[in-house]
Amino acid sequence: MRYFENYPPVTEEKKEMTLGEEPFIHPTCVIRDSTVGAWTALYANTWLVESSFGDYSYAAGNVQIIYSEVGKYCSIANSVRINPGNHPQWRVTQHHMTYRRKHYKLSDEDDAEFFQWRRDHHCKIGHDVWIGHGVVIMPGVSIGTGAVIGSGAVVTKDIGPYEVAVGVPAKAIKKRFDDATIEKLLASAWWDWDRETLEHNFNDLLSLEVFLEKYC
């Protein structure tokens, strides 16, 4: 994975999308103190702040990810927000002047303790997760490998592996496969295949029956 402390503008030749070991990052993206894997794509106006973004994952645009870990092979639709801003509800006022104090000339220092509290509520997205359009994943939530989050959902609690969750607040309505199959898929850890193995066995990923017979 490549580490980006502060992502610079891309060169003219990189504005056309290509996928490979070098991540594709649209010139309008903002990336700070984050790592981005190979064969990834971050489309227009995506933010990635103090986060990791796994191999083969993509964000379709207008996505904001902060203080989060995104696994491999994740499909993130447009206008998703992972770990949105939080406010100090326990104070007299929850306005961000209470922690962005320098901005309002109320102090020479911002509230470092509050920002650390936000960082401590890390989000974790497993591998091969599909997150639909306009989803919001609240601070501290984990999404299991293989899960599906329906468009417009607001996820306030953890979602298990291969569960399909929808609604506000999001609730799991079914599992993609039976428990025995889920256990086998998780044990296979196919998402950790190297590129050569992926290319050689790619067609096996297109059939659940074939995959289970050969690898589980």
- The CATH code of the domain that includes 17 is 2.160.10.10
Q: How many domains does the chain have?
A: 2
Does residue 208 surpass a pLDDT of 90?
Answer: yes
Catalytic site residue from 87, 96, 122, 133: 87
56-103 pLDDT, tens digit each: 999 999 999 999 999 999 999 999 999 998 888 888 988 988 888 898
Q: What is the pTM of this model?
A: 0.88
pLDDT of residue 10: 46
Token reading at 65: 């990810």
pLDDT of residue 19: 86
Per DSSP, which regions of the chain are E strands?
A: 2-6, 24-25, 30-36, 41-42, 47-49, 52-53, 58-59, 64-66, 68-70, 75-76, 81-82, 123-125, 130-131, 136-137, 142-143, 148-149, 154-155, 163-166, 171-175
Nearest residue to 191 via CA among 60, 80, 24, 54:
54
- Split at pLDDT 50, 70, 90, the class of 111 is confident
> Which residues make beta-bridge pairs with 92?
none
Q: Are residues 190 and 169 in the same domain?
A: no
Map residue 181 onto helix, strand or coil. Answer: helix
**What one-character DSSP code corresponds to residue 142?**
E
10-38 pLDDT, tens digit each: 444 444 556 899 999 998 999 999 999 99
Q: Are residues 14 and 59 in the same domain?
A: yes
Map residue 31 onto helix, strand or coil. Answer: strand
Q: Are residues 156 and 208 in the same domain?
A: no
pLDDT of residue 18: 66
Is 11 inside a domain boundary?
yes
Q: Are residues 125 and 212 in the same domain?
A: no
Q: Are residues 144 and 183 in the same domain?
A: no
117 vs 78, more confident: 78
- Split at pLDDT 50, 70, 90, the class of 114 is confident
Domain that holds residue 188: 178-216
Q: What percent of the chain has pLDDT over 70?
A: 92
113 vs 29, more confident: 29
Sign of CA dihedral 24, 27, 31, 32: positive
Is there a catalytic annotation at residue 87?
A: yes
Q: Are residues 142 and 204 in the same domain?
A: no
Does residue 8 surpass a pLDDT of 80?
Answer: no
